[in-house]
Structure 1
Amino acid sequence: MRIKVQCPGYRDPLALGFRDQNELVIRRSQRRAQKRSGTRTTDSSLDSGGPMIPSPQGSPQYPAEELARGYLFCQYMAGGHMSYLVPLIQNPQSSAVNVALNAVGLAALSNIRMSPRMMLKARQEYTTALAQTNHALRDPVMSKRDDILAAVVLLGMFEAMACTDDSFIDRWMKHMEGAARLIEFRGPEQLSRREGLDLFTQLRAQISTSTLYRETYSSIALTELTKTAKQHRNNNDHILDDLGLIVIRLGNFCAALKDGTITDPHEIIRSALTLDAGLTVLFLDVPGPWNYKTVKVPIHDGELITRLVWGESHHVYHSIVASSMWNNYRSARILIHELILDTVKALDSTASDETSSQQRRNLAEQSRRVARQLVEDICASVPFHLGAGVQDEDALAGPEERAPSSGHGSLLSADRNHLDMTGAGGLTLVWPLLIAANSGLASHDLRKWITGCFDKIGHSMGINQALAMAQLLRKGMHMRAWLTPGFGSGNSV
């Protein structure tokens, strides 16, 4: 009552399994012994492959699948990002989604615990889920069920957890193609259910990202579904669909540039500025639950107290869903201003009029300034996504609600309200961070910092996709190079 936080009740015994430090201590001790003796030993408790996972002394042991499901619940469902899974996995008929859930959780824990045998079990579950999902997709009735679409989402998550090389981009693109066809087949009826609407919203953002970078047109059906989705939301949430419609227009604009439908440089700049103005106006007055606060990082002896923040401030949001929405908005605007900069550069190489040249230079400088700020803002969202919060409990309150304070909130290593959201935070952060790193406006130091963020996401959250992205950045590769024909290969649902 004192801190105005709702009591969650007694702790689930499963949660105790994630605070077991015995294995970590044993592993460190073994490593020190190996260094002294020059021999290598194996932690059998991690790679036994048995059905039971050690728990703290005096606590019961749990099957690996149960711990995997508990991990996903704490890291992805409890924070609201994928809460639509909760009723779906409780349905006894939802076999595919339950097996897919096991596969994702086991894969994440395998990466965190460095257990190859647990990954083998995860791949077995993945194979079973894949077969069940493909069977359901061939049935015109079953393929419209929410649990089958949720299984498709989880199979895509498994690829993010288990990927081992840079071909993940190609596989992800193909996965999004299949997901797009599926939500179109499901039709507007899916939007009348909470679970169906949430699934559609999450997939639409990913599909739009995919079409943007493949520079392909979105279907008319996706636009119509987005308009219908808006009718099923309350007024505060309309911004999700308004943003979705503008991003779809941006994707179609990029496709028109690629196929030569639009070639005139002046028309390109006008259209880009129109799209950017639409996004800017849309986010001028964001409803309260979707907004965020900027928090200054305290400085001690002339140094920032943490390296988790790039710059001197970071953002605090109401939810991962809100921060993801903002980063989708920033990513779209970064792409728009990159288009403007490329077009102005091409014009400068051919035009000779000095007055027009000065105007173009002014426009280019403005675009660079806006894009740099957008990159900084994506980076400012990182601490929230990775589980850091502010000590000041009034950080998100409006001016009229905030208690008087003489100082700034300080970063905590793990905010009590956001700790359980770090897995979802890491998964939703990787693509915006990749866009920021490859914007052409990120310095060498910033790219290095982002690479470190990818490493943290990969190692601490079990998301191997982040490690693959970090490796590509270390190689100095830029995103456009990854989308060339033949870069990657793979299959998906």
Structure 2
Amino acid sequence: MEYAILALSTAAFDEDGALGGQSLKLYTRGLYELQKAIDDPKMRLDDQTLAACVLLGMFEFSECPGRTVSAYMRHYQGAMALLQLRGPKQHIGGLAHDVFQVLRMHTAFQGLGQGLASQLAKSAWMEGPWISKSKTMHDLLVDIFLQVPGLLSEVRAATSLQPRQSSLTTGLKTLSALLALNSQLNEWFESYQYTYPTIYWPQLSAASSSTDSEELGRLYPVSFHFPSYYVAETMILYWTVQTLIHASICSLSSRLPSSETKGITTFEGDNLPAKDNDDMSLADIQHIVETSDFMLWPETSARYICQSVEYFFQQEFRGIGAGVVLSPILVVKACLSRSARDFSREIAWIDETIGRIQYNGAGLAACV
């Protein structure tokens, strides 16, 4: 782990490029030491071995010396293999729990691209590492996030099938599960918003963009600021999860027109809260969707994420802030790209922002 820390630290403080070769040498030595530890049956399960694997992955994220995501993914996959080998109860506290928390977040975002439910979404991993402590509000939010990739997989499956009663029933059940998860997210926010007097506030943006023009004005003239970095990280994650859930509800509900589902009068809402767990009528589901703001919120949440980016580019956060916003920005780009509306200006702004993220310390941004 020592060489992994030295490699990251050297890279972080190398503002003029003079130490670039040194950080790469330390990284290479770190790889050698990690392989030795993995080959040793005793060291393989040591907390520092897991931490070294994650830290070397972070070096790939920030520096990306090979200009490809493959090395970063190998570190992530290796860390997950070690995590599974160790088991949930080996991550109750200390360094092991901190590293596990990092992997939880990475796993949630990785699941979006892979289209698979994560092992970390299972109850053993949701509960085991907290057997001796209470979850924070951030932990509870990640719990919700970890359920999203599995539901996105169900959405894709439901919308790819030929419209017949069985597939439409599956689609409606998936829709009910999304609505239930959205209720969990709303309940989470109801609790979180009172933890601080103000969790975010608008200020005039100091950033400029090539998308600004005299005719159209500034795309994001106002940026959001937060009482702390921790709150900012939590809120941008909240808006990311909200964007994903609401965009999925919009997509799925638009592909389940009432004319094709007249034969389906009710179905069991297995994934709904207990108080709503009676047979749900199709009319009930459609009424919930049509009378809500789901059609507006994906775009609104996406805008809030973009308005938060400037906060993370502050000098005091160095490359850490840039790394935090990369995945949410990519989620926004994916959602806007799939919209029927024209978001070419917003997407151009995002592409420009990804370039800034790379410049500010997330080298992997050049490869996505």
| TM-score computed with the length of structure 1 as normaliser | 0.58
Say which SS state the counterpart of residue 293 (structure 2) adopts.
Answer: helix
Matched, 1:100 2:33: no
Quickly say closer, same or farther: Cα 1:162–1:282, change in 2 above 3 A: same
Distance 2:244 2:367 in 1: 22
Q: How does 1:77-476 map to 2 (within 5 A)?
A: 97-108=1-12, 112-114=15-17, 118-163=19-64, 167-168=68-69, 170-219=70-119, 223-234=123-134, 237-257=135-155, 263=167, 264-286=170-192, 293-298=199-204, 306-307=207-208, 311-348=220-257, 351=260, 359=286, 363=290, 366-387=293-314, 419-440=315-336, 443-459=343-359, 461-469=360-368
Shift of 1:171: 4.5
What amino acid is the match of 1:435? V
Structure 2 portions without partners, runs of 5+:
210-217, 263-281
Distance 1:291 1:222 in 2: 35
Check the 8 A contact 2:62/2:319 in 1, yes or no: no
Shift of 1:342: 2.3
Say which SS state the counterpart of residue 293 (structure 1) adopts.
Answer: coil
Distance 1:238 1:156 in 2: 26
Quickly say closer, same or farther: Cα 1:454–1:364, change in 2 above 3 A: farther
The RMSD of aligned alpha carbons is 3.5
Query: Equivalent residue for 1:489?
Result: none
Check the 8 A contact 1:108/1:463 in 2, yes or no: no
Query: Equivalent residue for 2:270?
Result: none
Shift of 1:306: 4.6
Query: Equivalent residue for 1:473?
Result: none
| TM-score computed with the length of structure 2 as normaliser | 0.75
Moved more, 265-274 or 304-313: 304-313
1:211-242 deviation per Cα after TM superposition (whole angstroms, max 9, x unaligned): 232012322685323323344445xx532332
Shift of 1:129: 0.7
Quickly say closer, same or farther: Cα 1:251–1:362, change in 2 above 3 A: closer
Quickly say closer, same or farther: Cα 1:242–1:455, change in 2 above 3 A: same
Distance 2:195 2:96 in 1: 22
Quickly say closer, same or farther: Cα 1:370–1:105, change in 2 above 3 A: same
Shift of 1:271: 1.3
Quickly say closer, same or farther: Cα 1:468–1:423, change in 2 above 3 A: same
Say which SS state the counterpart of residue 462 (structure 1) adopts.
Answer: coil
Quickly say closer, same or farther: Cα 1:221–1:182, change in 2 above 3 A: farther
Distance 1:218 1:173 in 2: 16
What amino acid is the match of 2:303? E
Distance 2:197 2:88 in 1: 29
Shift of 1:209: 1.2
Structure 1 portions without partners, runs of 5+:
1-96, 299-303, 388-418, 470-493
Larger % of helix: which? Answer: 2
Query: Equivalent residue for 2:279?
Result: none
What amino acid is the match of 2:127? K
Shift of 1:201: 1.2
What amino acid is the match of 1:178? G
Shift of 1:336: 1.9
Check the 8 A contact 2:246/2:294 in 1, yes or no: yes
Moved more, 159-168 or 337-346: 159-168
Distance 2:104 2:85 in 1: 14
What amino acid is the match of 2:260? A
Shift of 1:173: 4.2
Distance 2:81 2:100 in 1: 12
Distance 1:317 1:106 in 2: 29
Quickly say closer, same or farther: Cα 1:321–1:187, change in 2 above 3 A: farther
Shift of 1:250: 2.3
Quickly say closer, same or farther: Cα 1:283–1:365, change in 2 above 3 A: closer
Identity between Structure 1 and Structure 2 (%): 21
Quickly say closer, same or farther: Cα 1:223–1:325, change in 2 above 3 A: farther
Distance 1:434 1:326 in 2: 16
What amino acid is the match of 2:174? I
Distance 1:171 1:336 in 2: 31
Quickly say closer, same or farther: Cα 1:144–1:98, change in 2 above 3 A: same
Shift of 1:312: 4.6
Distance 1:143 1:288 in 2: 43
Quickly say closer, same or farther: Cα 1:247–1:296, change in 2 above 3 A: closer
Quickly say closer, same or farther: Cα 1:243–1:462, change in 2 above 3 A: closer
Shift of 1:176: 2.9
Say which SS state the counterpart of residue 438 (structure 1) adopts.
Answer: helix
Check the 8 A contact 1:344/1:360 in 2, yes or no: no
Check the 8 A contact 1:184/1:221 in 2, yes or no: no
Shift of 1:457: 2.4
